[in-house]
Structures are given as structure tokens and as C-alpha cells.
A and B are shown apart, each in its own frame.
Chain A
């Protein structure tokens, strides 16, 4: 018994270790970029600059958490950017029309709006069994259109957004921005759930092998709807945070976020075809991308280079992942072969 389980356990640990190594790799990359930039420009390590670094990454990191849940199940949610825009404007509109609304209501309302879109995305994907890429591409357009209809050419004026609400966007606790604290909390909670809860492990099962998961009794449809709902809810919360951060929003808020979010998720080591990856990795991926952007600014390299570097980095990250994946596969194969010989 022990003879059989020992190598198995060791193998599992090794796989787990590699996963950790993946996140460690991103952390190392962030540190390297940070230190290199600071040597170049000492202002980069100042509290204000670091706060900006965290704040700037928060929104994309939050969306990346939800997106990870969806991508792990072999689906994708392209509607997050539009949901951010819709939620941000509707929350702002409530503040305009009902002055005195408590700030908390704004966050709850934003989250609910997103959750509704998420449920619809999930239900259409699972009931009609249509590819989520198409469904969420459609809802990207529809939600943006509804948003534009509601906005109707106006914009939310910063004066109308209550102070306690916008304070979330710029105030700090012990030097850490509120935005970053909220997002970190979400990352830790969802990250813990993804490692621990059976229903969350089901998401990985669905993503690695849908047929096997279904045969093993995993209620795939329900789980996928939940994943979309959480992704939508977090995007809705992200919309409220968007309003808190910028204090103003028009019909274009959040446009194009979907691709930045997917980029962060992929850099964070989440396999685009499902089955593996963690929300910690995804959030770190968002932080790395933002650190590089800010580093370019601080190094006085023309900001025109931002996108080019981000793109090259993304490609490097995917290629690196593939290389690691191949190595793990090979090692597992040889381990299995040796096991059979015994």
C-alpha cells in the first residue's frame, strides 16, 4: 500500500509545487521589474507610487478572479467590460436621482446587476448548449447597448457621487488603498474556496474533462451557471469600484476590459482551455501587467511602448507555460512508466 501511494503522493506534491512555482515566478517577475525600475528612478518605490501600482491593478485583478472561475470550466466571459460600464453608470444614476443613498447600497446594487447578467450568460450557455464565446460576445454588445441607452449621452458628475463612496476609491488604511484591500479580500476568499470546497473543485473537473466529470456525477450545468454568476457579480462590483475610483463615468466605461482581463488571467498561468490555474495567479498576473506599465512610465521610456511590451510579455508567458506543461507531462509519463515496471 505504502509502496504504491508514496510515489503518487510525491508526484502530487511535485505538481502542486510546480503550480506554486508558477505563482512564485510571477512574484519574482514583479519584484525584478520593481527593483530594476527603482534603481533607475527612486521615486518608483515611494509610498504614493506603490499605492498607485496597487490601485491601478485592482480592478483588472478583481475581474480576473471571476474570469478565472469561468475559464477553468473551459468557457470564457467576454461581457465583463460591458458589465463594468453598465453597473458603474446605473449606480451613479441612483446616486444622482436619490441623493443620500448610502454608499453600501451602491456596491450591493452594482454586484446584483452584474450577477443578473452572469446568470443569463450561464443559463443560455448551459441550457441552449451554445459556445460561451458567442453568448458572451453577444451579451458584450447587448449590455453595452443597454448601457448606452440608459446613459443617453450624459455622464455622471463627480459632485453627485457621495463622498463615502468615492473615499473607497482613494483613501488608504495603514498606507494600503481601500481598493486593493477589497480586491485582496475577494482574491483570498475565492482562492481559499477554489482549493477547498468540493463544488469549486468540480469546476476544475469540468474543465479538464467534461465527459468524465458528467459521468462522475458532477452537476456541470449548475456549476457553470454559478461560475458565470460569480464572474458577473464581481464585474458588477468592479463597476461600482470603477465609479468609486474615477468618480465619473459615461457610456464608454470599461470598454475593452475583457481582453486585458483575459490577458492577466493567461499571464497568471490559467490554462485557456480549462482545468488548471488559480485565482492567485490571475490576480498576480494583473499586478504584473500593471507594474510593467507603470515601470515603463517611471523609466521615462515613452509610454508608447506600454502595449508592445505587454503584448510581447503575454506571448512569452503563454510560451513559457507551454514549455513547463510539456516538461510536467514528460515527467509524469516517465514516472508512470517506472511505476508500471515495478
Chain B
């Protein structure tokens, strides 16, 4: 109980609270904005790069974005409750390392994968327990587990690289699903996205997640098991990130402890660009899916234009900035006007 009040959304810095709309209406407007951005991106990509509208482009976008996109789904649910999970990319690396280590020690590959998923669940449970049982701030806890998980991966694999997986599995990094242009990872993402969308937007659990994000305490008094839901969301995040780690390892046909280092911020950026409020209570899965597609298309187009991947960061950062400023821009201008008006007569 104590934990609920302590982990409440941290920084509602505004003194005058803005008008609150129904959550789904705000999301709808955001999503339509994203669709416009997506169309603009496609036009930009099509005019700037003659190779963009070819079959293989779609496959490569899927291949590049798959794991990040998968990790973005549970993170969306967590951010919706007003918390955050920065340990996602480290869990990806840890799961891949466990799988590689066990495979190297003559485990059956499927058993090794299962073990990786179990480790994901345990790691997620550690996050969840520290946050909901001890009431610690999730940003601090998951920076801690970010370091811990990556460190454990390093302890397990050291500098070695483990390869030699069955060809039938590693082909997911080379070929799309037969008869389509979808990479396996993006297909899994789409499947998971449908499940998440249904859970979030059409079940009592989904409503509970919105409620926790809007007012954790009120949700608690309305009979929602705030702590338990958060705990299981972290377990889910651990398992799903472990799955991403397995896919990442198979895609590259090798396991390394530093796989996916630094991806956590990309995942957070995608979730935020998808219109999920960092304070919780607002967002939609559709928005996150659109955000994945936009970022994927942009990166692919810029890469085809031979823009350095590091320089591409300007575009990602710019989009992120615009995405938070534009919805708040009207408010800000009104506030500044009100202030200047107040000053003149006084």
C-alpha cells in the first residue's frame, strides 16, 4: 500500500492542470497525426530514394526493427502505468548470452531457448518485486538492473562469441516468411501487437492499466490490484525481451554479451513517439505500431541515401521533440500570452 503512494507518477509540475479529455479521443488525434507523418515519410522516402518501393525494403525494415519493436510492446504497457523499464536491452543481451552459453555446453537448442525465457521471467520478477514490494522508483531500479543484467551476460560469455546454431533457425536473419516479405521478428511483433491491443483497449485489465496511469491511488481504492498488475507487467517485459534476445541471436547467428547495447533508449523513443505519455494513462498500441513503421521507414530511406547511422539520430531526436512540443504548443502559447497580458496593465 505504501508502495503505491511512493511510486505515483512523479512530476506533475504544472500548477494549472490542462483540460482533460477522454483518453481515447486524445489517442485518436495522435494516431491520425502519426498517419500524416507516415504518409509524409513515405513520400519523402519514395522521392529521395529510387530503391525504396521495392519488395526487399519491407523485409529489411522488418529485420532492422523487429526486436526493438517487440520490446516496445510490454514497455508501452509499463509506461501506461506511469513506470518505466530501462533494462530491456540488457535483458536482450542476457537472454542471448544464456542461450548461447547453454547451447555451447551441449544443451538442446530449444531447451536453451526455454531457459533464456525463464531467465527473462526471473529478471522481470526482480524488477517488479523491487518496484512494487519495496516501492523503489522504477527509473532507478531499472538503471540498476540494466547494469546488472548486462554484467551477468558479460560474466557468462566474457569476450567469446557463440555461433553454430542450426541453419533451420538462423535462416530467419536471411529470408522472410515464405510467400511474404515479413521478417519473422516483425511477424511476431504484429501478432503480439494484436494481443496487446486487445488486452489494453478491450479488457478490464486494459482499463485498469489506464486507471493506474491516470491516478494510481484512486485506482487502488477502486479495487484495482495496482502492485500485482505492475509486477506481472515487469515479468511480461522480461519474458518478451528474452524472446527478442533469442531472435536477435538467431538473426545474427551468434551470441555476444554486448548484443543490443544502448537499444533501451531507442525503445523508449519509439514508445514516446507512439503517443504514450511518460506520466502514464495515455496512449495506444496503434500509435506504437505506427511509430515503429515511421522510424523503420525513415531509417531505411536515410540508409539508402547513405546518411551515416549516427547522423540519422538527428531525425529521430527531432521527431521525438516535435512529438512532445506540438501537442503542448497551443497550451504554451496561450500561457505566454496570458502572462504578457497580465503584465501590461499591472
B146 near A311 (CB under 8 angstroms)?
yes
Q: Does B143 contact A262, Cβ atoms closer than 8 Å?
A: yes
Expressed in whole angstroms, the minimum distance between the Cβ of A105 and any Cβ of chain B is: 27
With both beta carbons as reference points, the residue of chain B lying nearest to A258 in the complex is identified as B265
Q: Which residues of A contact B332 (CB under 8 A)?
A: 127-129
A299 on the B face (CB < 8 A): no
Cβ of A135 under 8 Å from chain B: yes
A139: B residues at CB distance < 8 A: 317, 321
Question: Of B149, B278, B308, B312, which is within 8 A of A133 by CB?
Answer: B278
Which residues of A in the span 276-308 have a Cβ within 8 Å of any Cβ on B? 302, 304-308
Chain A residues 134-185 with CB under 8 Å of chain B are: 134-135, 137-149, 152-153
* Stretch of A33-41, A52-60, A312-320 on the interface side: A312-320
The answer on a CB contact under 8 Å between A322 and B136 is: yes
Q: Which residues of A contact B198 (CB under 8 A)?
A: none
15 contacts between A and B (CB under 8 A): A74-B10, A128-B325, A128-B328, A129-B332, A134-B320, A138-B321, A141-B265, A143-B317, A145-B315, A145-B317, A255-B262, A262-B143, A266-B143, A310-B151, A314-B144
Q: Is the Cβ of B136 less than 8 Å from the Cβ of A318?
A: yes
* Residues of chain B within 8 A of A219, CB atoms compared: none
Q: Which 4 A-B pairs have the closest CB atoms?
A: A311-B148, A308-B151, A307-B151, A141-B317
Complexed CA–CA distance, A318 and B6 (Å) = 14
Does the CB pair B144–A272 fall under 8 Å?
A: no
Alpha-carbon gap, A128 to B325, bound state (A): 6
Give a binary string over B131-151; 1 marks a CB under 8 Å from any A CB, 0 the rest. Answer: 000111101110111111111
Q: Decide if B151 touches A144 in the complex (CB within 8 Å).
A: no
Given contacts A134-B324, A138-B321, A149-B314, contact A315 B145 (CB under 8 A): yes
Question: In the complex, which range does the number of interface residues on chain B fall in?
Answer: 35 or more
Query: In B237-278, which residues have CB < 8 Å from any A CB?
Result: 261-262, 265, 268-269, 272, 278
Q: Who on chain B is nearest to A127 by CB?
A: B332
B324/A211 in contact, CB under 8 A:
no
Interface residues of B (CB under 8 A from A): 10-15, 86, 130, 134-137, 139-141, 143-152, 154-155, 158, 261-262, 265, 268-269, 272, 278-279, 308, 310-318, 320-321, 324-325, 328-329, 331-332, 335-336
Given contacts A140-B265, A141-B313, A266-B140, 12 further A-B contacts (CB under 8 A): A124-B321, A129-B331, A134-B278, A141-B269, A142-B314, A142-B317, A145-B316, A304-B154, A309-B151, A311-B144, A318-B136, A318-B140
Residues of B within 8 A of A214 (CB): 15
Provide the residues of chain B in CB contact with A220, threshold 8 Å. 13
- Is A191 in contact with chain B by the CB < 8 A criterion? no
